[in-house]
């Protein structure tokens, strides 16, 4: 069981409905190019219908179903595959049931229902949702659509590789996020066939990285505790199919931290004006990491998804802003008497920083009688202003500690 360039080309011919699968644009990023010392062209797959590449594989799979042979479609997904299957099934006239973990982002749950699927929330993670989906797909009239362990799915995802080769024929390196490996399996196979000199780099979140171990052992390795803000690539494992394609066609694997992913999300929002999810930003995080050298190259990071829950947006922004010292939590020891909060607030304000919130802490063992802590949450323009604000507080004789 494998996937060939002919399979991918056939999948592309099936993508004949622009209301389902679209050709997504490529956009030059001056900011990222300067940071990476390269020419960076972003493949904007997060602008795909359903907000990710997943519809490519799902539609390739379901458009081949012989009418009358299947009564319903079942899939398990943390979100993006769910939406792709839901739209593809509705388009070809099949009802669908998607099993999602109970902690799936609400935005993805709502969107999946919006594309016509019945959603069942089961289990604490992707694996438990997968077990339930297999139970539902036990009868012969039900078609189970796997997120990545299926040649038709992988071939559909591979059409993205054909697009990249056509849109950026001068590409030297393409950076591809990896969850279960369906995207990189298809993209790397396509590029090996039409642009064999292109380097294909896979990127995984450190908290969900299974490919390095799988390559070392020569067989798929899974983990039960995949933990990353990039929920779209937190599958906890790959398959024999996708591992084989990675072994054959992928040149390099890089892992990135959640902090690096959060920073990439914020950077894309600020400089490229693009809102992407953690999985979608992983390729940019790899681009900017010390583990990947792309100096002087033309590089194409795949922004593979844009379905990010609003709550996660705030979490990511807070994390990235904290890392940049744009969001501070300052604990200041004071004599607990009137005027101290006002004095410290004036000192912070004089530096141009903004106080978001403040609270008193009095019942702490490290405090002497008559003392308190004031804990300020402060928004600054960056490290320089943050350092000035802390120095201004200390100049008033206060003991101050940054606690985030």
* 13-54 residue pLDDT tens: 999 888 899 999 999 999 999 999 999 999 999 999 999 999
Instruction: Mark whether 47 and 162 lie in a shared domain.
Output: yes
247's tokens: 């072994």
Report pLDDT digits (tens) over 163-211: 999 999 999 999 999 999 999 999 999 999 999 999 999 999 999 999 9
Instruction: Mark whether 140 and 164 lie in a shared domain.
Output: no
Give the global pTM.
0.90
Are the CB atoms for 334 and 373 separated by under 8 Å?
Answer: yes
pLDDT at position 277: 94
Instruction: Mark whether 168 and 273 lie in a shared domain.
Output: yes
Q: Which of the pair, 214 or 130, is modelled with greater confidence?
A: 214
pLDDT at position 365: 75
Sheet containing strand 371-379, edge to edge, reads: 354-361, 371-379, 327-335, 399-402
Positions of E strands within 230-370: 252-256, 298-301, 327-335, 354-361
Q: What is the CATH number of the domain that holds 386?
A: 3.30.70.260
Which of 47-56, 130-139, 223-232 has the lowest average pLDDT?
223-232
Instruction: Mark whether 247 and 365 lie in a shared domain.
Output: no
Instruction: Write the CA distances from 211 to 50, 177, 205, 221, 292, integer angstroms.
Output: 27, 11, 10, 7, 17
Instruction: Mark whether 262 and 196 lie in a shared domain.
Output: yes
pLDDT at position 320: 82
First to last CA, the chain: 50
pLDDT at position 237: 92
pLDDT at position 128: 86
| pLDDT mean over 355-374 | 89
User: Does 1 have pLDDT greater than 80?
Assistant: no
- Which of 305, 320, 335 finishes a domain? 320
Instruction: Mark whether 200 and 297 lie in a shared domain.
Output: yes
Are the CB atoms for 378 and 353 separated by under 8 Å?
Answer: yes
Nearest to 270 by CA among 142, 372, 382: 382
pLDDT at position 59: 98
Are the CB atoms for 305 and 233 separated by under 8 Å?
Answer: no
- Which of 275, 294, 320 finishes a domain? 320
Backbone angles phi, psi at 112, to 5 degrees: -60, -45
User: Does 388 have pLDDT greater than 90?
Assistant: yes
pLDDT at position 105: 77
Report pLDDT digits (tens) over 314-335: 888 888 889 889 999 999 999 9
Predicted confidence band of residue 79 (pLDDT cuts 50, 70, 90): confident
Predicted confidence band of residue 310 (pLDDT cuts 50, 70, 90): confident
pLDDT at position 297: 98
Instruction: Mark whether 59 and 140 lie in a shared domain.
Output: yes
pLDDT at position 108: 83
Q: What is the CATH number of the domain that holds 91?
A: 3.40.50.1100
- CB environment 5-29: b (16+ within 10 A), e (fewer): bebbbbbbebbeeeebbeebebeeb
pLDDT at position 364: 78
Instruction: Mark whether 203 and 299 lie in a shared domain.
Output: yes
Q: Which of the pair, 130 or 281, is modelled with greater confidence?
A: 281
Instruction: Mark whether 396 and 312 lie in a shared domain.
Output: no
User: Does 301 have pLDDT greater than 90?
Assistant: yes
pLDDT at position 60: 98
Say how far apart CA 136 and CA 364 lie, in whole Å.
Answer: 54
| pLDDT mean over 353-380 | 91
> Residue 305 has what DSSP assignment?
B
For residue 72, the tally of other CB atoms under 10 A from its CB is: 16
27's tokens: 């956009």
Instruction: Mark whether 172 and 315 lie in a shared domain.
Output: yes
Domain that holds residue 123: 54-144
pLDDT at position 19: 87
Q: Percent of the chain having pLDDT more than 70?
A: 100
Helix (H, G, I), strand (E, B) or coil at 252: strand
Region of 224 please: left (phi>0), alpha (psi -120 to 50) or beta. alpha
Instruction: Mark whether 59 and 131 lie in a shared domain.
Output: yes
Helix (H, G, I), strand (E, B) or coil at 58: helix
Are the CB atoms for 204 and 210 separated by under 8 Å?
Answer: yes
pLDDT at position 117: 96
Are the CB atoms for 133 and 153 separated by under 8 Å?
Answer: no
pLDDT at position 127: 78
- Which of 320, 350, 375 finishes a domain? 320
Report pLDDT digits (tens) over 230-283: 988 988 899 999 999 999 999 999 999 999 999 999 999 999 999 999 999 999
Say how far apart CA 245 and CA 184 lie, in whole Å.
Answer: 8
Structurally, the chain folds into a number of domains equal to: 3
Instruction: Mark whether 38 and 64 lie in a shared domain.
Output: no
């Amino acid at each position: 069981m494998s996937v060939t360039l002919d399979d991918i080309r056939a999948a592309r011919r099936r993508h004949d409905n622009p209301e389902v699968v679209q050709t997504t644009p490529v956009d030059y990023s001056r900011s990222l190019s300067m940071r990476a010392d390269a020419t960076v062209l972003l493949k904007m797959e997060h602008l795909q219908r359903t907000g990710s590449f997943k519809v490519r594989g799902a539609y390739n799979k379901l458009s081949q179903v012989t009418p009358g042979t299947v009564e319903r479609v079942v899939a398990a997904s943390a979100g993006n595959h769910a939406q792709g299957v839901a739209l593809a099934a509705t388009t070809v006239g099949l009802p669908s049931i998607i099993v999602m973990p109970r902690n799936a982002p609400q935005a993805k749950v709502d969107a999946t229902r919006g594309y016509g699927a019945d959603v069942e929330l089961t289990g604490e993670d992707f694996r438990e949702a997968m077990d339930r989906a297999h139970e539902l797909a036990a009868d012969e009239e039900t078609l189970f659509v796997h997120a990545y362990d299926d040649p038709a799915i992988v071939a559909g995802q591979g059409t993205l590789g054909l697009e990249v080769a056509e849109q950026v024929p001068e590409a030297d390196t393409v950076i591809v996020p990896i969850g279960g490996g369906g995207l990189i399996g298809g993209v790397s196979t396509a590029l090996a066939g039409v642009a064999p000199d292109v380097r294909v780099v896979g990127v995984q979140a450190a908290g969900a990285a299974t490919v390095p171990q799988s390559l070392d052992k020569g067989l798929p390795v899974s983990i039960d505790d995949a933990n990353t803000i990039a929920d779209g690539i937190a599958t906890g494992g790959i398959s024999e199919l996708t591992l084989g394609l990675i072994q054959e066609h992928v040149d390099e694997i890089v892992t990135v931290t959640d902090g690096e992913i959060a920073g990439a999300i914020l950077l894309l929002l600020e400089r490229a004006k693009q809102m992407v999810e953690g999985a979608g930003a992983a390729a940019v995080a790899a681009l900017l990491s010390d583990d990947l050298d792309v100096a002087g190259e033309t590089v194409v990071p795949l922004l593979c998804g844009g379905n990010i829950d609003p709550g996660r947006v705030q979490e990511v922004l807070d994390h990235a802003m904290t890392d940049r010292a744009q969001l501070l939590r300052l604990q200041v020891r004071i004599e607990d008497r009137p005027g101290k909060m006002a004095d410290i607030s004036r000192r912070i304000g004089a530096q141009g920083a903004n106080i978001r919130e403040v609270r008193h802490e009095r019942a702490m063992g490290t405090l002497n009688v008559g003392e308190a802590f004031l804990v300020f949450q402060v928004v600054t323009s960056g490290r320089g202003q943050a350092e000035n604000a802390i120095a201004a507080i200390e100049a008033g004789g206060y003991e101050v500690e940054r606690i985030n």
